[in-house]
Structure 1
């Protein structure tokens, strides 16, 4: 019998924030700067099983067998949480595969009279951050403690939504390809791969095809979410499986860097920087926009990094040194979330 993803929890808690290669890091905004390059705890030598590829089941019309194989059975996960996981091949020529973990809505799974729970897709940002980060730290049915134990979450989106997490794009988290050509070069390719995966997903779970479908995400997902929603909208007329797209939702999205590079005035009005520092912010912002206009994106990243991100500056960014904040994701918090130390 093919092992579904009993192997998942043995690895996922270490690499839930898996990013693109270190060599490419310089060109990307890193939303998780304190992510560790080594596992928080050493891995064990136990066999975690083989990956489960579901596309062959779908191609052979063995839908029920595919669902059964994908059902997650793990002693660490509470028995009342129904979930399925595996790989969906989105390009056979390059053996490109997207990994997903789907949690059935609890309203439906316990026989509620309301059997119309919507379907929600969650996409993390990065680029190159695993969507399992959102699962474990934000909106999934459970989190992970510092001792790497599963902790059920009282309030979770899966209580009244069918919730899908996909490691996107190919090369992120557990998603992989065998050839360089399999990596997405633009948002059109990102949208096409996700649409391909969703076509297979809804074939595997046909009862969900008529449910309202929402695409959601955060950070660099501000590009992924519109990309796949646009693809669904354009392709629905001719698609084998019509997806009932109902809307999108984006949190702290990086959608338009040129117009979003305006931190100085905001931080000044909050009282976190003084007038002199605001003027310095304006200089970096102007230079960053100039670099974007010239399509010199390494230069643009350098301005952002020096200004607020600080990945390449051991002494910290201008924002950190001026405000004393070690994180810039929430101005109510001066320190990063402790979970980022082991997630």
Structure 2
């Protein structure tokens, strides 16, 4: 009888997203909660919250009080935060379900969200329910958070920070602004304090137009290669100038293909990574014909499907799916190609003005970038920064940067510049996935963002 009662409790907790800490196996060794929010008709978004765990507290930092809520948004669009960001970058467990010592859960409650709807475990039941632009994504995020805080009202007063990576930068910027507007209108009651735009796709053409020179200066392109990349980038720029946004997205994907061919398959996420990793078990070797338009196959494979490579795909569609009680009809990442396709007309549009508006709200706005990243290279980030209408821009540009260290005595981990509520961080020895490549330094940066 006792066994039957325990079994029933376990089933109910799994199906409904219960808070578990039973120490029966690896996934149970961390305290978490999860659930779905129907943000619109036919649109169901998934979230997974990991509560702050003092055993993960970094030894070189003081505990934060009050404990912040740290939202993580992945890139793509179509990549999964509950999968990649969680198990590959900053969650409490790694791909082998072993403890990650640089998990952000030592500093705060970490909320992974699969967005846009259709990413990860999020799903639609009607193809018309996919978002097609950044404003729709932001509206869904507002609805998701209203549902989340409806279940966890005790966290409403905790400082809220939205952190992100890659295309997640566009989503985070738009979402933070939408939340700020909701707060001002009195329709949302949360303690939004800041946004961290990590290797963020804020101004796509400033990245594309600097790819060639960046690779050339690092010895990864010769003169003919530079000419070929610049020619492809110029074609992309022409499409943007003509307002042909879908064609610009297609040509962006083509430019990536040109780089792959001329730079011996350079890794877009970290230029120092091996150019020819073992692809035998990679999910991106699957036949994408029919799933993605031919002209976008390179872009999708590089910037979404790479985030769902085995063994992550097997973990998320196996043990994790069972543990969370995800509906049988939902395949983790099964709608990511449709998400990517639906955003094609909005993908290359810049959102520099959104960053200006965020700064004007008074919240903390932080841009950080790994200096080995190619897809969102630091020269491109610096270029769009100079296009802001921020009143303090000239003072900011004239400042010297400050060396930053993960802890006293450690080698330089990066540099920062800060004026008022805006900051820019250069992260050394890191590529696109800053929390993965520079785990300790990222914790230092995160602590500084929250406490300074």
Aligned counterpart, 1:244: 191
Judge conservation of contact 2:44–2:124 (CA < 8 Å) in 1.
yes
CA distance in 2: counterparts of 1:218 and 1:327, whole angstroms: 17
Q: CA offset at residue 172 of structure 1?
A: 1.3
Counterpart of 1:152 in 2: which secondary structure? coil
Q: Does 1:294 align with 2:209?
A: no
Query: Gapped runs of 5+ residues in structure 1?
Result: 7-49, 53-68, 309-316
- Number of the residue aligned with 1:206: 153
| Deviation readout 1:37-58 (Å, 9 max, x if unpaired) | xxxxxxxxxxxxx5x4xxxxxx
1:328 aligns with 2:280: no
Cα separation, 1, equivalents of 2:116 and 2:13: 20
Contact 2:56–2:102 at 8 Å: present in 1 too? Answer: no
**CA displacement at 1:328 relative to structure 2:** 1.6
On the 8 A contact 1:108/1:117 being kept in 2, the answer is: no
CA distance in 2, matches of 1:301, 1:100: 29
The match for 1:104 is: 51
After alignment, is 155-164 or 252-261 more displaced?
A: 252-261
Aligned to 2:195, the other structure's residue is in SS state strand
CA 1:5 to 1:170, structure 2 compared with 1: closer, same or farther past 3 Å?
farther
| Residue 294 (structure 1) shift | 2.5
* 8 A Cα contact 1:107 1:114, kept in partner: no
Aligned-pair CA distance for 1:77: 2.7
Structure in which a larger fraction of residues adopt helix: 2
> Shift in Å at residue 336 of structure 1?
7.0
Matches of residues 74-85 of structure 1 in structure 2 within 5 Å? Answer: 75-77=24-26, 79-85=28-34
Partner of 1:194: 141
Instruction: Output the CA distance in 2 between the equivalents of 1:267 and 1:292.
Output: 23
8 Å CA contact 2:115–2:122 kept in 1: the answer is: yes
**SS of 2:181's equivalent?**
helix
Give me the whole-angstrom Cα distance separating, in 2, the residues matched to 1:284 and 1:221: 25
The runs of 5 or more residues in structure 2 that have no matched partner are: 1-7, 283-308, 313-452
Change (3 A) 1:286 1:109: closer
Structure 2: how far apart are the matches of 1:266 and 1:108? 41
Query: Are 1:121 and 1:163, in contact at CA under 8 Å, matched by a contact in 2?
Result: yes
CA distance in 2, matches of 1:322, 1:142: 37
Match of 1:123 in 2: 73
Paired residue for 2:229?
Answer: 281
Q: Confirm or deny that 1:162 pairs with 2:162.
A: no
Distance in 2 between residues matched to 1:336 and 1:212, nearest whole Å: 43
SS in 1 for 2:184: coil
SS in 1 for 2:185: coil
- Aligned residues: CA RMSD: 2.7
Task: Answer whether contact 1:107 1:115 (CA < 8 A) is retained.
Answer: no
Work out the CA distance in 1 between the residues paired with 2:237 and 2:67.
Answer: 43
Query: In 2 relative to 1, CA 277–270 (structure 1 residues): closer, same or farther, beyond 3 Å?
Result: same
Aligned partner of 1:134 among 73, 76, 85: 85
SS in 2 for 1:121: strand
Q: Tell me the TM-score normalized by structure 1.
A: 0.71
